[in-house]
């Protein structure tokens, strides 16, 4: 974990090294000042030597100035190093997430990833700054003050040693009891973020069903859980301050009492006693600082582990050593394909799939909910890898291709359509960032998106809100289809991507595909038979297996499931799930 996180310091190593150096310099200057004060009192004030007071006073001013400069520079470099470390952590996590396969992403919740990129990184940033500054300053201050105290009077300094041992033991026990609560707290932030994310993204549904009170209750429960855990942790930590004050005042009383006796006995000077009292505060306050550092480190340990999980998670889909960068055509072959989302997790999602699709063919895929239609097409663009068997595109196993090349040539319009904030042109150019406006208009005509874009006041420069909230479901689907067409793919997969489009527009889109992109292999997943009946061939899926494969006419004659669904839809407008008496 430390190696993983330490690798993200990168260009801020110099700042990370400079910070503790300046902090130690500041401590040295602070520790010299009490000795100078003792000298002023013992050799200047008591002896009436004004010259000595001036000289030592001047040195004190210089020491204070150096200490001030060192403190400022330590703060400056500490902030730079910790902020830079946090920046690199966020960047590294985000870049690594971009490399994840779908199976990697499935291991994390969206809310969990957001928490790791925000709250957890902030905790680690604060802890790193504390480590660079306080972890160097506090031990150095305590050690130097202890050495100075023993130099002045070993007998009185032994009081500090006993106090440090007792206080350190108590603080360790407090920290250990608080740690378990902090480890429980940060996963609860995932639940809180999940509640907020779900509520905001589905706010229209919440309001439509008047469920604001229910959602407020869910949020309150998640927030209350975090509150209770932190309260328990803080209850343990609340013993820190009383213990520290008890120790400090006990040490001051003992040193004052014993020191006064030693002054009377002429074995200790007034200046030395004052220095010892100053060092007493330095030692015990350093210990208090260390306890705060331990609190921060304790809080950040859970965050550090969660961040390391994201950084150490590597994509299970890798490019081969010598990948192919050219896909000859859009032919697709499934050769005894088995697939499961998790290896060894029960029955496979897809079982013994054998299919051969010619380049340029239009293939319909139809099946009930949960029949693994989407799982089937996800293997073509290698969003997942097969568990057994092979999927070939252009006559070669998809695992032999460079993944970027494969995904550029196999365009997928996913079942869940997503648009990003920006203009319509910005969204379309996700398909080809160098596409001209004329090319964007051409693909929009193919997807029948020009019909509504031309009616918008700003046309193709119309701004799309986050998630496409200012366009309808059908408009969103057509824009996503146009975006995929801009890639000029050899294979185009439409995963139920015209479900929100009326049948007339659906027919126009299919007709445009037939005439404008005849060489592109088209796979159309649909619930409506009318969306696929003109396809060259149709795949009927049931329970992760191919139940039938042929043309519309052939399936009507030979496939009972297809025939029943066709009759139910043409007779009463039913969908694929309404079959066999369901």
Output the domain CATH number for residue 104: 1.20.1560.10
Question: Pick from 362, 282, 217, 336: which is nearest to 33 by CA?
Answer: 282
User: Does some domain include residue 327?
Assistant: no
Same domain, 295 and 352: no
Q: Is residue 214 over pLDDT 60?
A: yes
How confident is residue 580, by pLDDT bands cut at 50, 70 and 90? very low
Same domain, 301 and 197: yes
One DSSP character per residue, 518-563 reads TTSEEEEEES-GGGTTTSSEEEEEETTEEEEEE-HHHHHHH-HHHH
Same domain, 49 and 105: yes
pLDDT tens for each residue of 410-433? 888 877 778 888 898 998 998 888
Q: Is residue 578 over pLDDT 70?
A: no
Question: Pick from 554, 564, 497: which is nearest to 524 by CA?
Answer: 497
How confident is residue 213, by pLDDT bands cut at 50, 70 and 90? confident
For residues 392 and 398, give the distance between their C-alpha atoms in angstroms, rounded to a whole number.
Answer: 5
Across the chain, what does the average pLDDT equal?
84
Please tell me the total count of domains within the chain.
Answer: 2
Same domain, 260 and 392: no
How confident is residue 88, by pLDDT bands cut at 50, 70 and 90? very high
Average pLDDT over residues 370-379: 88
φ, ψ of residue 340 to 5 degrees: the values are -140, 140
User: Does some domain include residue 582?
Assistant: no
Same domain, 68 and 161: yes
How confident is residue 491, by pLDDT bands cut at 50, 70 and 90? very high
* Percentage of the residues of the chain whose pLDDT score is greater than 90: 17
pLDDT tens for each residue of 492-518? 998 887 777 778 888 888 888 888 788
pLDDT tens for each residue of 15-56? 999 998 998 898 888 888 877 887 888 777 777 778 888 888
CB atoms within 10 A of CB 436: 11
Select from 279, 312, 345 the last residue of a domain.
Answer: 312
Q: What pLDDT sits at residue 230?
A: 81
User: Does some domain include residue 339?
Assistant: yes
Helices (H) and strands (E) in the chain, counts: 20, 12
Same domain, 292 and 378: no
Contact 222, 195 (CB under 8 A): yes
Select from 259, 281, 312 the last residue of a domain.
Answer: 312
Q: Domain range for residue 186?
A: 2-312
* Residue 83 in tokens: 């902020």
Contact 348, 340 (CB under 8 A): yes
Same domain, 177 and 300: yes
Whether pTM exceeds 0.85: no
pLDDT tens for each residue of 120-165? 898 889 888 888 888 778 888 888 888 888 888 888 878 878 887 8
Same domain, 246 and 295: yes
User: Does some domain include residue 322?
Assistant: no
User: Does some domain include residue 325?
Assistant: no
For residues 439 and 295, give the distance between their C-alpha atoms in angstroms, rounded to a whole number.
Answer: 59
Contact 315, 507 (CB under 8 A): no
What residues contact 393, with CB distance under 8 A and at least 6 apart?
Answer: 327, 330, 331, 332, 380, 401, 406, 409, 410, 490, 491
For residues 161 and 39, give the distance between their C-alpha atoms in angstroms, rounded to a whole number.
Answer: 25
* Residue 167 in tokens: 């206080």
Q: What pLDDT sits at residue 345?
A: 66
For residues 556 and 12, give the distance between their C-alpha atoms in angstroms, rounded to a whole number.
Answer: 69
First-to-last alpha carbon distance for the chain, in angstroms, is: 53
Contact 102, 272 (CB under 8 A): no
How confident is residue 344, by pLDDT bands cut at 50, 70 and 90? low
Average pLDDT over residues 224-245: 80
Question: Pick from 383, 371, 441: which is nearest to 414 by CA?
Answer: 383
Q: Per DSSP, which regions of 122-275 are E strands?
A: none
Integer CA distances (angstroms), 96 to 93, 99, 219, 399, in order: 5, 5, 30, 21
Name the one residue in this structure whose structure tokens are 């060192």: 70
Same domain, 359 and 499: yes
Q: What pLDDT sits at residue 579?
A: 46
* Residue 28 in tokens: 């040295």
For residues 482 and 503, give the distance between their C-alpha atoms in angstroms, rounded to a whole number.
Answer: 18
What residues contact 557, with CB distance under 8 A and at least 6 apart?
Answer: 563
Same domain, 293 and 346: no
For residues 582 and 542, give the distance between their C-alpha atoms in angstroms, rounded to a whole number.
Answer: 15
Q: Which residues pair with 412 in a beta bridge?
A: 493
User: Does some domain include residue 318?
Assistant: no
Contact 496, 527 (CB under 8 A): yes
Q: What pLDDT sits at residue 179?
A: 72
Q: Is residue 333 over pLDDT 90?
A: yes
Same domain, 258 and 134: yes
Q: What pLDDT sits at residue 571?
A: 66
* Residue 250 in tokens: 């006990």
User: Does some domain include residue 451?
Assistant: yes
DSSP label at residue 401:
B
Q: What pLDDT sits at residue 94?
A: 92
Q: What is the CATH number for 375?
A: 3.40.50.300
User: Does some domain include residue 317?
Assistant: no
Same domain, 287 and 358: no
pLDDT tens for each residue of 253-280? 888 888 888 877 777 777 778 777 887 7
Q: Is residue 334 over pLDDT 90?
A: yes
Q: What pLDDT sits at residue 145?
A: 80
Q: What pLDDT sits at residue 72?
A: 92
Contact 477, 452 (CB under 8 A): no
H or E segment to which residue 540 belongs: strand 537-542
pLDDT tens for each residue of 539-558? 999 988 999 999 999 999 99
What residues contact 554, with CB distance under 8 A and at least 6 apart?
Answer: none
């Amino acid at each position: 974990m430390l190696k993983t996180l330490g690798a993200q310091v990168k260009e801020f190593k110099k700042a990370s090294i400079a910070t503790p150096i300046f902090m130690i310099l500041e401590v040295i200057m602070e520790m010299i000042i009490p000795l100078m004060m003792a000298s002023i009192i013992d050799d200047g004030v008591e002896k009436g030597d004004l010259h000595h007071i001036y000289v030592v006073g001047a040195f004190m001013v210089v020491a204070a100035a150096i200490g001030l400069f060192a403190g400022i520079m330590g703060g400056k470099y500490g902030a730079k190093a910790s902020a830079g470390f946090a920046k690199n952590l966020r960047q590294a996590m985000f870049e690594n997430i971009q490399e994840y396969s779908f199976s990697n992403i499935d291991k994390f919740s969206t809310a969990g990833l957001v928490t790791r990129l925000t709250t957890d990184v902030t905790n680690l940033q604060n802890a790193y700054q504390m480590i660079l500054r306080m972890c160097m300053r506090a031990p150095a201050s305590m050690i130097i003050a202890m050495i100075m105290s023993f130099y002045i009077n070993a007998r009185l300094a032994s009081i500090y040693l006993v106090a440090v041992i007792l206080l350190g033991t108590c603080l360790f026990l407090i920290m250990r009891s608080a740690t378990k609560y902090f480890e429980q707290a940060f996963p609860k932030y995932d639940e809180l973020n999940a509640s907020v994310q779900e509520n905001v993204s589905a706010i229209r549904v919440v309001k439509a069903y008047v469920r604001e009170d229910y959602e407020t209750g869910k949020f309150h429960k998640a927030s209350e859980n975090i509150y209770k855990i932190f309260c328990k942790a803080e209850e343990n930590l609340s013993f820190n301050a009383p213990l520290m004050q008890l120790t400090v005042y006990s040490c001051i009383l003992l040193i004052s009492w014993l020191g006064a006796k030693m002054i009377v006995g002429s074995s200790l000077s007034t200046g030395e006693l004052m220095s010892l009292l100053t060092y007493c505060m330095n030692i015990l306050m350093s210990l208090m600082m260390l306890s705060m550092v331990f609190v921060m480190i304790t809080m950040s340990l859970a965050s550090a582990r969660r961040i390391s999980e994201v950084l150490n998670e590597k994509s299970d889909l890798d490019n081969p050593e010598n990948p192919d960068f050219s896909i000859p055509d859009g032919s697709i072959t499934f050769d005894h394909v088995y697939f499961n989302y998790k290896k060894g997790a029960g029955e496979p999602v897809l079982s013994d799939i054998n299919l051969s699709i010619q380049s340029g063919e239009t293939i319909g895929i139809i099946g009930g909910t949960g029949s693994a239609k989407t799982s089937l097409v996800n293997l073509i663009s290698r969003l997942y890898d097969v568990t057994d068997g092979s999927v070939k595109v252009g006559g070669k196993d998809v695992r032999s291709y460079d993944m970027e090349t494969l995904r550029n040539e196999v365009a997928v319009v996913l079942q869940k359509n997503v648009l990003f904030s920006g203009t319509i042109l910005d969204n379309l150019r996700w398909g080809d960032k160098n596409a001209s406006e004329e090319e964007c208009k051409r693909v929009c005509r193919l997807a029948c998106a020009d019909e509504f874009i031309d009616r918008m006041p700003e046309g193709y420069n119309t701004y799309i809100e986050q998630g496409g909230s200012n366009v309808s479901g059908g408009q969103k689907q057509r824009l996503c289809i146009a975006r995929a067409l801009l890639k000029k793919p050899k294979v185009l997969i439409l995963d139920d991507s015209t479900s929100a489009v009326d049948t007339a527009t659906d027919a126009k889109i299919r007709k445009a595909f037939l005439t404008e992109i005849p060489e592109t292999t088209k796979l159309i997943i649909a619930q409506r038979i009318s969306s696929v009946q003109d396809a060259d061939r149709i795949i009927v899926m049931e329970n992760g297996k191919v139940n039938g494969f042929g043309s519309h006419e052939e399936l009507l004659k030979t496939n009972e499931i297809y025939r029943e669904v066709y009759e139910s839809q043409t007779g009463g407008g039913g969908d694929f799930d309404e079959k066999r008496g369901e």
